[in-house]
């Protein structure tokens, strides 16, 4: 149940608005002056604050608004007044007010403003969660040259307002790159709004992006604020933008060029100030050639391209990523993180990861649950990796020996260890069956397992 705090010195306003909101399912509290209102917020933070501009007492409406923005910046504040001039409205907006309602209030106006404010509150919570995920290890995870290049590019472009196209395979972390760009910009304290273009039904794309007016189409029982408006002064992240249809692409192009949108069923242009960051796992240049993506939109979105490398191109980052995901699991559940043996990490580093970081996160969570507080060995890793994933495909080039840090002996041992662990996994731990698959005798396999430190038995 969403909660609302009404701060107004007029008892009738508090009573009438409170009754309206209670009938709509809101939890309502009130205060007659700013200091009391701040106390109410500190006791139990509401989802939205309705604040009168002209309240008497130690703090007037603007002073109370300023205190609220300092203490609880994520809570939207809607100002109310019957005597405010344009300068007051401008001051309130500069201080961070979400909306300004003129008295006498109307039920429709109050409910619409609250619905929009709650949507903004939800978006801000999502943005904060993204920031926490991104910042758990202090920075984006990985010290490989490929990730260093990505971080360097983010640092250079984040402070600008340039449009960015993030490209990469599914599961490589494109959303985290987009979030890093937003949080590294001057818009970091403004909304970060994500749109999954692939998940929106084609007939609802315009409504989702630009909003709609009540009665604009069958089922439009209320006015809806679109993602462009919610992202005003912030960043709009268009995930999987290559999945948009041509008609939606045309409307998106117009919104970007004109910097204004129109709600479905509305005839009034609405100015919007948003930074566009897009992402795709498709080759948009190829899509332009094929006629499935507009060339002019591609040029608008692709001002600054960033390529996020697949996980198999940066295996040196896997130990840090494993530690990161283990820490996240511990923070969520409180269960002790497992100890990852060097052999287990080596096996993870040798896997191709077709699902990229998303697949690695799932594997780490599974093993962290199964072996909380214990050791995770090669055998445990081999038991959960897909058997058809392979450590290297036949058509892949062999590693350049001049670029290898390990000795020939260590490299051969690592490869032999991987083959044996996979054979044991495929054989369900049966050494005799594993030796048959490896075309060697069981005694020889036992000797090799002991030499390589592979557990013999059920441990």
What is the per-residue DSSP string for 297-348?
Answer: HHHHH-SEEEEPPPGGG-GGGHHHHHHHHHHHHHHHH-PPPPEEPHHHHHHH
Which among 309, 332, 363 is the end of a domain? 309
143 and 205 inside one domain: yes
Number of CB atoms found within 10 A of residue 188's CB? 14
Residue 141 counted as domain residue: yes
Is 49 within the bounds of a domain? yes
Task: Give yes or no: residues 294 and 319 share one domain.
Answer: no
Q: In the prediction, which pLDDT does 84 show?
A: 63
Provide φ and ψ at 6, rounded to 5°. -105, 120
- The domain boundary, picked from 283, 309, 335, lies at 309
For 373-426, what is each residue's pLDDT tens digit?
Answer: 899 988 888 888 875 444 443 334 444 544 445 566 766 777 787 788 777 766
Nearest Cα residue to 42 out of 16, 1, 84, 5 = 5
- At 114, which CATH number? 3.40.50.2300
Residue 8: alpha-carbon gap to chain centroid: 37
* 208 and 264 housed in the same domain: yes
Same domain? 423 vs 284: no
Predicted confidence (pLDDT) per residue in 202-212, tens digit: 878 888 889 88
Q: Are residues 375 and 448 in the same domain?
A: yes
For residue 26, being part of any structural domain is answered with yes
Output the pLDDT for position 353.
Answer: 87
Give a yes or no: residue 275 inside a domain: yes
Final residue in a domain of this structure, among 85, 119, 153: 119
Q: Are residues 274 and 305 in the same domain?
A: yes
284 with 169: CB under 8 angstroms?
Answer: no
447 SS3 class: helix
- The answer to whether 317 and 144 have CB atoms below 8 angstroms apart is yes
Q: Which residues of the chain have pLDDT under 70?
A: 84-85, 127-139, 218-219, 387-408, 410-411, 425-429, 455-459
> Under a CB-based contact definition with an 8 Å cutoff, are residues 367 and 338 in contact?
yes
423 and 320 share one domain: yes
**Is residue 381 within 8 Å of residue 424, measured between CB atoms?**
no
**Encoded tokens for 186:** 């001057």
Do 300 and 192 belong to one domain? yes
Residue 49 lies in domain = 3-119
pLDDT tens for 127-183 read: 666 555 554 333 578 888 989 899 999 999 999 999 999 999 988 889 889 989 998
Q: CATH code at 190?
A: 3.40.50.300
* 450 CB-contact burial (10 Å; exposed 0-12 / middle 13-18 / buried 19+): exposed
Say whether both 112 and 34 belong to one domain.
Answer: yes
Q: Where are the alpha helices (DSSP H) in 95-141?
A: 107-135
Kind and range of the H or E element at 375?
strand 375-376
CATH of the domain at 323: 1.10.8.60
CB atoms near residue 84 (< 10 Å): 20
Q: Within 10 Å of residue 189's Cβ, how many Cβ atoms?
A: 15
Residue 458 covered by a domain:
no
Domain-located, residue 167: yes
Reduce the DSSP state of residue 100 to 3 states and report it: strand
End-to-end CA distance of the chain: 50
Name the nearest CA neighbour of 130 among 76, 195, 71, 183.
183
Q: Is 412 exposed, middle or buried (0-12, 13-18, 19+ CB in 10 A)?
A: exposed
Cα(98)–Cα(108) distance, integer angstroms: 17
Q: How many domains are there within the chain?
A: 3
Asked if the structure places residue 25 within a domain, the reply is: yes
In a domain, 440, yes or no: yes
Residue 426 is predicted with a pLDDT of 67
């Amino acid at each position: 149940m969403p909660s609302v705090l009404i701060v107004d010195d007029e008892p009738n306003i508090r009573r009438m608005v409170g009754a309206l909101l209670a009938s709509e399912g809101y939890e309502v509290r009130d205060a007659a002056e700013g200091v009391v209102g701040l106390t109410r917020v500190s006791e139990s933070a509401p989802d939205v604050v309705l604040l009168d501009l002209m309240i008497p007492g130690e703090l007037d409406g603007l002073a109370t608004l300023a205190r609220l923005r300092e203490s609880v910046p994520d809570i939207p504040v809607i100002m109310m007044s019957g005597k405010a001039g344009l300068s007051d409205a401008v001051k309130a907006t500069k201080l961070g007010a979400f909306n300004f309602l003129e008295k006498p209030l109307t039920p429709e106006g109050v409910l619409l403003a609250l619905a929009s404010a709650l949507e903004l509150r939800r978006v801000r919570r999502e943005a904060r969660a993204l920031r926490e995920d991104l910042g758990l290890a202090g920075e984006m995870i990985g010290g490989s040259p490929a990730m260093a290049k990505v971080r360097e590019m983010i640092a250079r472009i984040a402070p600008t307002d340039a449009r960015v196209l993030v490209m990469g395979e599914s599961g490589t972390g494109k959303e985290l790159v987009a979030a890093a760009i937003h949080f590294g910009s001057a818009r970091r304290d403004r909304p970060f709004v994500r749109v999954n273009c692939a998940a929106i039904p084609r007939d609802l794309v315009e409504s989702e992006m630009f909003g709609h007016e009540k009665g604009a189409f069958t089922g439009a029982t209320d006015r809806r604020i679109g993602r462009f408006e919610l992202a005003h002064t912030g960043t709009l992240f268009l995930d999987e933008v290559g999945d948009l249809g041509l008609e939606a692409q045309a409307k998106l192009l117009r919104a970007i060029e004109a910097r204004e949108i129109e709600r479905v069923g509305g005839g009034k242009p609405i100015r919007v100030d948003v930074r566009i960051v897009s992402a795709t796992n498709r080759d948009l240049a190829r899509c332009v050639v094929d006629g499935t993506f507009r060339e002019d939109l591609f040029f608008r979105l692709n001002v600054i391209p960033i390529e996020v490398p697949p996980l198999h191109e940066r295996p040196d980052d896997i130990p840090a990523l494993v530690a990161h995901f283990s820490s996240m699991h511990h923070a969520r559940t409180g269960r002790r993180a497992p100890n990852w043996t060097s052999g287990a990490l080596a096996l993870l580093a040798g896997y191709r990861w077709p699902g990229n970081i998303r697949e690695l996160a799932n594997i780490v969570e599974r093993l962290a649950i199964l072996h909380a507080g214990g050791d995770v060995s090669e055998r445990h890793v081999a038991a959960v990796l897909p058997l058809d994933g392979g450590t290297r495909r036949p058509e892949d080039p062999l590693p350049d020996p001049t670029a290898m840090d390990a000795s020939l002996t260590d490299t051969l041992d690592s490869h032999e260890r991987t083959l044996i662990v996979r054979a044991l996994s495929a054989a369900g731990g049966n050494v005799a069956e594993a030796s048959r698959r490896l075309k060697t005798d069981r005694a020889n396999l036992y000797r090799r397992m002991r030499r390589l430190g592979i557990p013999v038995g059920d441990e």
